[in-house]
Each structure stands twice: as structure tokens, then as C-alpha cells.
């Protein structure tokens, strides 16, 4: 497809300083202008990571990520606000429930309202009235979700037919990958668009998040080994193009705070491919000598291999840079990921299942829209400190779902996001307090034990 179909990319001289409303810095954030670039070489001083406490004999650790819009204490869960909003919840509520950062989707914001509009507003945080750190993904997820029609599921199984032309039943292919990039057909109106590493970087620089991810190809476990190898080569080449374009755009946009760039590690469930990807990306530098600021661990994988794969990656990755695990939020997965070295996580699941009436609590999940809660005047979780549990009952929320009132989604999302954020906060406290293993055993014993666990909840 012609490059004429490519989305808007910032010109060599982007918006002049002062042409957009600046985001008010969070308390403790660097002064305006911190993280500027001199002589075309990025000054990365406004972004950094330090380790606080380590788990003995394992990769797990607590630490602090510094960004131009504040600090993130790790491990940390990063709620997903796909279209510059966590669905059904105002950003102020996300702050109140303890979220330290939010992640938005570059592909969706490019389509609507357009990355240039977000840039004109002063960046993602200013646009959505969120003063804290922000993340954006690269659009690489759509390679898989639009290309083969599958939603990302951690527990995707590797059994069955191997096919590089796999597509979900009843789905139409909306994305086609080639070595230069991806051609998309919009899920909104069918219009055609072209993403390349340079386009993805241009969009994400306009969105202005504190952390961006390099453009990558997300494969499925049904792809052949040969395809996984070819895809890894392609993702490596795209990563080099991303870091080169990141250097160029950062120098051109020196009036904006520094944006960190994370590489994305693929390789499916193959140890040699995962380790090679880590080593190659760690060694990669842009023309001006810039390396990646952190690393995202991506890819579809079988749930029982999560810890092993994260461990392989953390064996190879540098200790002084943060590691983000893409698309993880279930409690058992969080514990496994943390002890094997992951620092931050994002996932839509807490809000997605909340909109389907599935409620998290320490003994598992339950569906509040079932008949047994019709006259239950207790909180969703008596042990929860969220706004919903302090003010509303199961009976009322049951009524809201039956009446198809939007408030049901709002109240349940607040609760589920608070549950997940607080769980990761508690995991961090257990690392720093030296009782991680005891906390893990106690929590998972309740989560997997008898009770209301997973009663009919679906994502």
C-alpha cells in the first residue's frame, strides 16, 4: 500500500513551545524542561529506575521508576485506559483508588480522536486530566488481534494444528504484516491505514506518554517455529528503526518532557528465541548511541510457562532497567511474574469482567448479578476499602445490572481496579518487609480455596 495512506506523523519541526497547554507536573516531578535533548542526543536523566529490595535467590525486586510526571513504586499494576479513559470511571477515581500510572492504546487514539489532537491538548495526561505517569502501547497488539481475530489470552494453548495462516472462527482478517510494517483496515469504518515503526513512533511521540513501546509483531502459539524465527527477525529490525526514529523525534521535540522507549521481547515459548531477543535488544543502540530505557515482555504464552519465560528474560536483561509484563492481572499470575522479575503489568481484565458483573475478592470471583444477591445488603467485599464497598451493597448493584444501568459498570470497575492495585501494592510491601513467600501462600490459599471462587465469571 502507498505511503500516502500513512497516518499523520509529526513534521521535523513539531508544535512550537507554548502552543499547547502544559500538563501540571505531579509533586516531586522534574521542573519543566527536564529531559530535554541537546545536540540531537537524548538526555534521559528525567527517566530512571532504581532497585530497593530484592527477593533472595530470585529475580523479583521492588524499586522506583522515575518519570517526568512522577514516580512509580514497583511492583505496580498499571490499569488500562484504552481510549484515554478507563471505561466507566473518571481519572480522579483512578487516582483515589491508588493507581500510579495509566496505559492507553496508540492504535485506538490514532483512529479517534487523532494523535495530533492529543498533542495539541498537551499530551495524553493533560488530555484526560491525569497528572501522573502514562504509558502507550505501539499498535503491535493489533497485528495479532486484527490479523487473526483472537483476543489476547494468557492461557492460549499450544496444542493442535500449526498454521501460519490461522484465523479465529468467524473472523475476518483486518491486518496484513510485511517486513516493512502492517496494513490495517479500521474496525470503525473499514478505512485502510499503514503502520510502520516510524509511524508508530510518530503517533506515540504526539500522544506524549512517559513510557512508549517499540513496534513489534505479536504472534500466536499456533504459528510454526519457522514463522516465530522470521517474526523475531522482523521485530528486531523494527526495534532498530524505532530507536533511530525515537532519537530523531526526541531531538525535534525538545520542548516536550523526555519519553522513555521500551523494547518488546517476543519469541513465544522458545527459550533460545527469548534469550536471543533479550541479548540483541539490550545491545541495540540508535545512531546517537541511545539504548532502550526498559523492556516489555510480550507474546501469547501458556499460563503454566509464565514464570519460566519471565525468568529466561530476566536472566538476560540488565538489572538497572525496568521490565514490564504486557497483559497480566490475575492474582496467581501476578505472584509468579513478580518473583521471576517483572516490575510492572497492565491488563484490561479487571475493568472488562467488572462490566460483566464479575467481582474480585480474596476468596475468588463471583457474579453479583445472580439471584442470590437480590436481598444481600452487604458490601461487595467487607474487607475492601474502595469507594464502592464503603457506600453500596450487593443488592443495589445487582439491581443496577438487572436494570441495565451504567452505574453498575462504574461501581464494579472501581472495586476490581482497587482490588488489583492493592494486591500488587501488598506484594510490594511483602517484598520490602521480607515476608513475600508467606503472603503468597496465604493469599493464594484463600483465592484457590472453597467459597465464591470464579462462580460463572467470564471476561
pLDDT tens over the chain, length 459 residues: 333 333 333 333 233 223 333 333 343 444 333 443 334 556 678 999 999 999 999 999 999 999 999 999 999 999 999 999 999 999 999 999 999 999 999 999 999 999 999 999 999 999 999 999 999 999 876 554 554 444 444 334 554 445 455 544 555 657 788 999 998 888 888 899 999 999 999 999 999 999 999 999 888 888 889 999 999 999 999 999 999 999 999 999 999 999 999 999 999 999 999 999 999 999 999 999 999 999 999 987 888 999 999 999 999 999 999 999 998 999 999 999 999 999 999 999 999 999 999 999 999 999 999 999 999 999 999 999 999 999 999 999 999 999 999 999 999 999 999 999 999 999 999 999 999 999 999 999 999 876 544 433 332
Rounded CA separation 122/256 (Å): 9
pLDDT value of position 221: 84
Q: Which 3-state string (H, E, C) describes 110-160?
A: HHCCCHHHHHHCCCHHHHHCCCCCEEECCCCHHHHHHHHCCCCCCCCCCCC
Active site members: 137, 346
Alpha helices by DSSP H, 217-258: 225-252
pLDDT value of position 6: 35
The Cα-based distances of 393 to 227, 402, 408, 458 in angstroms read 51, 14, 11, 22
Q: What's the whole-model pTM score?
A: 0.85
The dihedral through the CA atoms of 400, 403, 407, 412 has a sign that is: positive
The Cα-based distances of 97 to 144, 211, 314, 347, 426 in angstroms read 32, 22, 30, 16, 14
Left, alpha or beta for 369 (phi > 0: left; psi -120 to 50: alpha)? alpha
CB within 8 Å of 403: residues ≥ 6 apart: none
Amino acid at each position: 500500500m502507498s505511503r500516502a495512506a500513512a497516518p499523520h506523523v509529526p513534521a521535523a519541526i513539531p508544535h512550537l513551545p507554548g502552543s499547547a497547554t502544559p500538563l501540571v507536573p505531579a509533586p516531586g516531578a522534574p521542573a519543566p524542561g527536564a529531559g530535554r535533548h541537546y545536540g540531537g542526543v537524548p538526555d534521559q536523566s528525567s527517566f530512571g529506575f532504581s532497585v530497593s529490595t530484592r527477593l533472595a535467590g530470585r529475580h523479583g525486586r521492588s524499586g522506583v521508576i522515575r518519570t517526568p510526571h512522577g514516580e512509580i513504586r514497583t511492583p505496580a499494576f498499571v490499569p488500562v485506559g484504552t481510549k484515554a479513559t478507563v471505561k466507566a470511571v473518571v481519572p480522579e477515581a483512578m487516582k483515589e483508588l491508588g493507581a500510579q500510572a495509566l496505559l492507553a492504546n496508540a492504535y485506538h487514539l490514532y483512529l479517534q480522536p487523532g494523535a495530533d489532537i492529543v498533542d495539541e491538548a498537551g499530551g495524553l495526561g493533560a488530555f484526560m486530566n491525569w497528572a501522573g505517569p502514562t504509558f502507550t502501547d505501539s499498535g503491535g497488539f493489533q497485528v495479532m488481534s486484527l490479523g487473526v481475530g483472537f483476543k489476547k489470552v494468557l492461557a492460549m494453548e499450544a496444542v493442535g494444528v500449526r498454521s501460519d495462516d490461522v484465523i479465529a472462527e468467524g473472523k475476518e482478517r483486518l491486518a496484513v504484516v510485511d517486513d516493512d510494517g502492517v496494513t490495517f483496515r479500521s474496525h470503525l469504518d473499514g478505512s485502510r491505514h499503514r503502520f510502520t515503526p516510524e509511524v508508530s513512533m510518530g503517533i506515540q511521540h504526539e500522544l506524549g506518554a512517559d513510557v512508549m513501546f517499540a513496534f513489534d509483531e505479536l504472534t500466536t502459539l499456533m504459528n510454526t517455529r519457522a514463522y516465530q524465527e522470521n517474526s523475531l527477525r522482523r521485530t528486531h529490525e523494527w526495534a532498530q528503526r524505532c530507536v533511530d526514529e525515537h532519537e530523531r523525534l526526541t531531538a525535534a521535540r525538545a520542548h516536550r518532557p523526555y519519553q522513555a522507549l521500551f523494547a518488546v521481547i517476543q519469541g513465544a515459548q522458545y527459550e533460545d528465541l527469548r534469550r536471543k531477543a533479550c541479548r540483541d535488544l539490550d545491545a541495540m543502540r540508535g545512531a546517537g548511541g541511545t539504548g532502550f530505557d526498559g523492556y516489555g515482555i510480550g507474546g501469547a504464552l501458556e499460563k503454566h510457562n509464565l514464570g519460566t519465560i519471565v525468568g529466561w528474560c530476566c536472566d538476560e536483561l540488565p538489572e538497572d532497567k525496568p521490565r514490564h509484563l504486557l497483559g497480566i492481572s490475575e492474582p496467581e499470575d501476578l505472584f509468579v511474574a513478580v518473583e521471576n522479575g517483572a516490575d510492572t503489568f497492565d491488563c484490561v481484565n479487571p475493568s472488562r469482567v467488572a462490566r460483566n458483573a464479575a467481582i474480585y475478592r480474596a476468596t475468588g470471583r463471583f457474579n453479583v448479578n445472580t439471584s442470590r444477591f437480590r436481598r444481600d445488603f452487604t458490601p461487595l467485599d467487607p474487607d475492601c476499602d474502595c469507594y464502592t464497598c464503603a457506600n453500596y451493597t450487593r443488592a443495589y448493584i445487582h439491581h443496577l445490572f438487572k436494570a441495565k444501568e451504567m452505574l453498575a459498570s462504574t461501581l464494579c470497575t472501581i472495586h476490581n481496579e482497587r482490588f488489583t492495585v492493592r494486591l500488587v501494592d501488598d506484594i510490594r510491601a511483602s517484598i520490602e518487609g521480607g515476608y513475600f513467600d508467606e503472603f503468597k501462600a496465604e493469599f493464594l490459599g484463600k483465592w484457590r480455596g472453597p467459597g465464591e471462587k470464579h462462580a460463572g465469571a467470564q471476561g
